[in-house]
Amino acid sequence: MAKKIMIIGAVAVLLNAGLVFGQAPAKALSLEECLVRAMERNLGLQVQIRNPELADWAVSLAGERFMPVFGFSYGKQSNRSASSSWIDSSDLIENKSDYLSAGLTQFFPTGGALNASVSTGMNETNRRFQTINPYYSGQLSFQFTQPLLRDFGPAISRREILIARNNRDIAEQSYKRALLDTLYTVEEAYWNLVFSIENLKVMKTSLKLAEDLLARNTAQLKIGMIAPIEVLTAESEMASRKADILQAEVLVKNREDTLRTLLNFTAEEGSGTPLIPSDVPTIEKRDLSVESALAMAMASRPELMSARVTISNDDLNLTFARNQLLPRLNLVANYWSPAVSGTQILYQDDNPLSGVVIGTIPGGSDQAIKDALQFKYKNWSVGLSLSIPLNSILSRAQAQQAKISLDQSRIAMQDTEQRIFLEVRNAIRDVENNAQRIEALEVARVLAEKTLDAEERKAKAGMSISYTVLQRQRDLILAQSRELQSRIDYVLSQARLDRATGLTPDHKNITWTDPFKKRP
């Protein structure tokens, strides 16, 4: 608790110092603020979150297969040719025609397709002996085709949709994996910055110890109590510690930049503003057995979920490949209603061969369309068509490729499980080991403080030399640094355990919104 108060006090001092000297005020950040900002602003996550959005559009595109397809066609034609018989035409033969048709095609999950169309046309000619000229045709027709072997069934016809949905799930899991990695990276950068700042304080304290020793040695040299070598030793150590401080200051700046980049600070927000962590490493032990941690990882790790979905995709591909080995046997049913109308030509004695036209009965295209829609002339047909491609008999390459790919995916999932087992075990072992290291290094630091205190008392009594005192100071500095590092290592090992078990930010009491939670 005392250490936490000291760090918070140091934060306040640094913030006030920035205001007093006219520098950019330091920005205090808690770990929770950093994690939340990373989830919202980290550029790597912003890239990853676009992949599920792309996958959503791929699902929509695959689903368009079962949307109705409308067709429309219109055309006009005029043909002229020389007459080869004066009976047909005296000079040239001229035919004019136009046509109009519209249709709709609907595919079904069974693999079948229904086509409905209506068409009308007009034909006019100068040929002789015509009984209807111009004449108009109309037809309403339906055709249903249903595969019975190859391409039959929902598993085949909806394969692209199912794969697209699975790919969307894989994209979501990839994002969640990137989220876990990013959160750990941010937490690692945060605690590394904490260590760098606190370690810099330790080094500055060590410089103060060297300065005090130098001042004491200088005073003792003036009265002849010690040799000049004692002053030179203190001066040399003080210069060395100043160099260490310069290096530590650079490390603080570098780690500030690392955290600032992960949080995507813009120039407007103050890209050069010092970042001061407001949290301190706390030692909170968790009772988590290897078995329970492995169970959590098996249920939550995005890699395993992606592997399971990949196996599902490969299984769909194998089913499709085996289906394509079957002969193509289709049931084809047709139902159509044709009709004809037009201007009827009346000949003398009802004999077109006479060539004598005595009148006409006008007619248009409306009657042809009306008769067709009313099914005045009903026609139907039902049949089977069979085709056996030679590649389905001689070659089974596609099916074999699909089978090998499925085997690979299953082996890859087993490999992923083994790697996760190892990662979880190592993470739990690191947490336990770092907790024990903290206790041991805390004892080592206390002993180093006592040893330095004893050595300084001996030096004041003239029973020790500066080299030994400085050595004890270095021992204390190292002990303080190692204890601080062990605390940082402990909280980072806890973070690695969270990542290994696939825990979401909810575990850290962070309020966040899963962007895919409400997806269908």
Q: Would 517 be classed as within a structural domain? A: no
Q: Is 426 in the same domain as 490? A: yes
Q: Is 151 in the same domain as 169? A: no
Give the pairing type, strands 357-361 and 275-277: unpaired
Q: Is 305 in the same domain as 240? A: yes
Q: Is 286 in the same domain as 413? A: yes
Per the structure block, which two tokens stand in for 342?
């037009």
Packed helices 302-323 and 159-222: angle between N→C axes, nearest 10 degrees: 160
Q: Which of 515, 496, 55 is nearest to 306 (CA)?
A: 55
User: Across the 520 residues of the chain, what is the mean pLDDT of every consecutive 10-residue run?
Assistant: 40 39 68 90 90 90 90 90 67 85 94 94 80 86 95 92 94 92 94 95 92 87 85 90 94 93 81 84 82 91 94 94 91 94 76 69 80 90 90 74 94 95 94 93 94 89 86 93 94 93 76 60
pLDDT at 90: 59
Q: Would 518 be classed as within a structural domain? A: no
Packed helices 228-262 and 466-501: angle between N→C axes, nearest 10 degrees: 20
The helix/strand/coil state of 170 is helix
Q: Is 152 in the same domain as 166? A: no
CA angle, 229 then 233 then 238, to 5°: 150
Single-letter amino acid code for the residue at 214: L
Q: Would 499 be classed as within a structural domain? A: yes
Q: Is 172 in the same domain as 231? A: yes
- Distance CA(122)–CA(99), nearest Å, equals 6
In a 13 Å sphere around the CA of 454, the CA atoms on its Cβ side amount to: 6
Per the structure block, which two tokens stand in for 132?
């209807």
The helix/strand/coil state of 483 is helix
- Distance CA(474)–CA(345), nearest Å, equals 122
Judge contact between 127 and 86, C-beta under 8 A.
no
Q: Is 181 in the same domain as 302? A: yes
What range does the domain containing 363 cover? 90-157+330-387
pLDDT at 354: 65
DSSP string, 204-273: HHHHHHHHHHHHHHHHHHHTTSS-HHHHHHHHHHHHHHHHHHHHHHHHHHHHHHHHHHHTT--STT-TT-
Judge contact between 79 and 95, C-beta under 8 A.
yes
Q: Is 340 in the same domain as 446? A: no
Single-letter amino acid code for the residue at 88: D
Question: Which residues, in sequence order, are bridge partners of residue 70?
Answer: 104
- Say whether pTM exceeds 0.85: no
Q: Would 94 be classed as within a structural domain? A: yes
Give the residue carrying structure tokens 């080094």. 203
pLDDT at 130: 76
Domain count, the chain: 2
Single-letter amino acid code for the residue at 84: S
Q: Would 193 be classed as within a structural domain? A: yes
Give the residue carrying structure tokens 């204890």. 483
Strand extents, DSSP E, 90-228: 92-107, 113-125, 132-147
Q: Is 308 in the same domain as 343? A: no
- Distance CA(328)–CA(391), nearest Å, equals 12
Q: Would 365 be classed as within a structural domain? A: yes
pLDDT at 12: 40
Q: Would 361 be classed as within a structural domain? A: yes
Give the pairing type, strands 92-107 and 113-125: antiparallel
DSSP string, 7-46: HHHHHHHHHHHHHHTTSPPPEEE-HHHHHHHHHHH-HHHH
Q: Is 383 in the same domain as 441? A: no
Per the structure block, which two tokens stand in for 225?
């109590």
Per the structure block, which two tokens stand in for 404?
């090998």
pLDDT at 152: 94
The CATH number of residue 453's host domain is: 1.20.1600.10
Q: Is 346 in the same domain as 463? A: no
Question: Which residues, in sequence order, are bridge partners of residue 317?
Answer: none
| C-alpha torsion sign, points 455, 456, 460, 464 | positive
Read off the DSSP letter of residue 505: G
Per the structure block, which two tokens stand in for 399?
């099916």
CA angle, 223 then 228 then 233, to 5°: 125
Q: Is 255 in the same domain as 358? A: no
Per the structure block, which two tokens stand in for 165?
């949905």
Q: Which of 148, 255, 249, 133 is nearest to 193 (CA)?
A: 255
